[in-house]
Amino acid sequence: MGTIRSKYSFEQFEEVLQKLAHKAAIEAVTKPKGRYVRIAIDNGRFTRVETDEYMFVFYENHVSFHKSGPDGLSFDVEEKLYSTSNDRSKISFEVFLKEDTEKVKKRISAFVEKIMAEAGMKPQPRFRLKNIGSFPRRLDSYIKPRNAKTWKRKP
């Protein structure tokens, strides 16, 4: 199983994937190409959209996306507040027998960038260093000035 870190928030993924699910559902109902369509809505929000080509499943804390066909993709997105980076979400995916993990990562990353750009979404990092002003001391108070003299204690 592979993972990708993303600076897009879970809410941004949910909003964009809800729009894609809506588009797939409308297309499946108005222009039926295949035989299989399953749509579940709870409180005005899609919880599941399945067609011959797409599958979207929206859970409380993660979203599953699957697109079938020769250029198919399949991944899950969940919120993950990393302690080692500024990333906000984790994209998990399966690598099948002859697929290369790096190729799949690149395809998924390109797809995510494409759908986010089409929706006008910009990455939302959790924090910016310039906005952090709550430290009790400034950094320059910890750095000794270059021309400072050091005093020796008398024994």
pLDDT digits (tens, 9 = 90+) for 68-102: 988 889 999 999 888 788 888 999 998 876 678 89
Least confident span in 38-42, 88-92, 127-131, 143-147: 143-147
Q: What residues form DSSP beta bridges with 66?
A: 55, 74
- Supply 110's token pair: 């390109």
Residues 21 and 49: beta-carbon distance below 8 Å: yes
Contact 19, 119 (CB under 8 A): yes
Beta bridge partners of 93: 2
Higher pLDDT, 99 or 7: 7
Range of the domain at 27: 2-141
Give the E-state strand segments of 16-136 in sequence order: 38-42, 45-50, 54-58, 62-67, 73-79, 89-93
Cross-strand bridge partners of residue 4: 91
Rounded mean pLDDT of the chain?
84
Q: pTM of this prediction?
A: 0.76
Residue 148 in any domain: the answer is no
Whether the CB-CB separation of 48 and 57 falls below 8 Å is answered with yes
pLDDT interval class at 11 (50, 70, 90): very high
Is residue 152 included in any domain, yes or no? no
**9 neighbors 91 (Cβ within 8 angstroms):** no
- Asked if the structure places residue 132 within a domain, the reply is yes
Residue 77 lies in a domain: yes
- Closest by alpha carbon to 105, among 64, 125, 113? 113
With respect to residue 38, please indicate whether it lies within any of the assigned structural domains.
yes
Cα 89 to its chain centre, rounded Å, is 5
Do the domain assignments include residue 42?
yes
Distance CA 58, CA 89 (A): 15
Residue 155 lies in a domain: no
| Residue 153 confidence class, pLDDT cut points 50, 70, 90 | low
Q: How many structural domains are present in the chain? A: 1
Q: What is the pLDDT of residues 54-67, one digit of tens each?
A: 999 999 899 999 99
| Pairwise CA distance, residues 141 & 95, whole Å | 50
Distance, in Å, from the CA atom of 78 to the CA atom of 10, rounded to the nearest integer, reads 6
Question: Is 46:21 a contact under the CB 8 Å cutoff?
Answer: yes
| pLDDT value of position 71 | 83
Instruction: Say whether pLDDT at 139 is over 60.
Output: no
